[in-house]
Amino acid sequence: MAERAAGGTARAAVAALTDDFTESTAPVGDTAGDGPLGWEGYADSRVRATARTGEQESVVHGLATVGGQRCVLISFEFGFLGGSLGQRTGDRLEAAYEEAARRGLPLVSLIATGGSRMQEGMIALTQLHRVARASARLRAAGPAQIAVVRDPTTGGGWATLGAGADVILALPGAQVGFAGSRVRPPDADPSAYTAEGQFAAGQVDAIVAPEDLRETVGHWLRLLTRRTDPSASVSVSGTSVSGATQGPDVAQVPGATPAPDATSASDTTLAPAPTAVPLPPPAPVPSAPVATELPRTGWDAVLRARSADRPRAHAYLDAYFALRMPLSGDRCGGRDPGLLCGFGLRDGAPVAYVAQCGTATRPAGYRTAARVIRLADRLGVPVLTLVDTPGAANDAEAERSGAGPAIADAFAAIAAARVPVTTLVIGEGGSGGALALASPDRTHVTADSYFSVIAPELAAAILKRSPDRVRATADQLRLRPQDLVELGVARSVVGAAPAEDGGVPPREGGPG
């Protein structure tokens, strides 16, 4: 089982992951007797669970270092009543979220739970409200949330701490799903409730072997930890704490006002004031792997962009990043293998990336891209997009999957981004399906690319022109790289070799 491979207990999982761990003091309070429902035998069950595990509750939390990066860590003890969430579990989880916000640190959750604790009835179920509210307020305050789903991760624990995280990593073979094994339909496909099934459905970002988990989480913490000014302050639970940058050249992140917490013994929920992160410089424009002469005609540009021999997204990303960590899936049931998304290190600084791979982009791809762009914007990380698509997928399944709304969401994510978005068109720039992932003011093009309102063949068909006029139509569309610079659509042409006739090269743009 994946759980055994990762270290069965909460503390074994912590030890396997961290460089060091300092447990935080648990909130004051304990469940009296047989609990809020007077469930006969509940008190004895807790006593036996403590004797068996050494824990007072189903979670432990504290400050940790993973791969040299600081974080707040939560670890579930499945041996304590199945890692279930009760009222005192909620106290500890809320305290962990609050500590992450107060310190401005990412939150990492090592999850193994069967869901809400039935012996506490609705009091247990309403802890999910507390966790969701604490997660939302931590997100508003800025720090990233990373979930590691162990075996099993089901019920409300999956639907809050797990599926609600920014980055979701799963151990191989782990049971993952809202429905636990005893409450599913008898004819349900068991593969749907596995880590691998959730990855295929776009709900999990990566399957990580236990021996790779420490390095993987360390990389993610390095990429997602916000760069802030420790001399500034932000209000959490009505207290001024350090960690948020103020001053000019910052992007404001709206805070949230707390609602009264009926399930808490005291009002200690998160209440972050508006925080800010410095606006980063634009991501540097990638270099072209090879220099290419500018195309002489529009049709030449189209043929070069469609050539199987030109460099693709993988080549650009591999040359650009010293470290690259992928994000996968739209969290709505879909993945697009023709779109690469994630975060990477460029010259020691994080950059988010969205890269089309030359195929028609699916709705799941646009939704995944929007998710990554919004996360980068929240964390103050610049974005690089590589455009290369004949257009958005336009088959019937794409329409049923929400092609229009997905493209609209991608447009909106870029339009709302406060961090700079840099785009390089590296191949085909096919109409709105390409434009949806392009920067409105920092777009560059390679010498073997084109960008057009429509493919020349389709334009000729719409205009009822004969096939022999497709080439002339390509010229009329002015889709060549040098045309795009002249029209002001692109800042520069990247990787243009000197023309044999000594022609004047196009103007060059800035660094981003």
Could you give the CA distance from residue 141 to residue 143 in angstroms, rounded to a whole number?
A: 6
Strand 69-76 with 107-113, pairing: parallel
Residue 275 pLDDT? 53
Q: What is the mean pLDDT of each run of 10 residues along the chain (512 residues)?
A: 57 97 89 89 95 96 97 97 96 97 97 96 96 97 97 95 97 93 86 94 97 98 74 35 35 39 40 60 96 96 96 97 97 96 97 98 98 97 98 97 97 98 97 97 97 96 95 97 97 88 47 62
At 498 the pLDDT is: 82
The backbone region for 478, taken as left when phi is positive above 0, alpha when psi lies in -120 to 50, beta otherwise, is left
Count Cβ atoms below 10 Å from residue 337 Cβ, excluding itself.
11
Q: Which residues contact 9 (CB under 8 A, 6 or more apart)?
A: 53, 77, 79
- Given this model, what pLDDT does residue 136 score? 97
Please give the C-alpha separations between residue 482 and each of 285, 301, 424, in angstroms, as whole numbers.
17, 10, 14
- List of residues 6+ apart from 340 with CB closer than 8 A: 313, 314, 317, 326, 353, 354, 355, 357
Q: For residues 171 and 14, what is the distance between their CA atoms, to the nearest angstrom? A: 15
- Whole-structure pTM value: 0.88
Q: What is the pLDDT of residue 272?
A: 47
The structure tokens listed for 322 are 């010293």
Closest CA to 224 of 316, 332, 339, 323: 323
Q: How far is CA 226 from CA 82, 219, 243, 375, 380, in A?
A: 34, 14, 9, 11, 7
- Is residue 359 within 8 A of residue 391, CB to CB? The reply is no
Distance CA 505, CA 301 (A): 16
Bridge pairing between strands 292-293 and 275-278:
unpaired
d(CA 485, CA 487) in angstroms, rounded, equals 5
Alpha-carbon distance values, 429 to 5, 438, 495 (Å)? 46, 9, 17
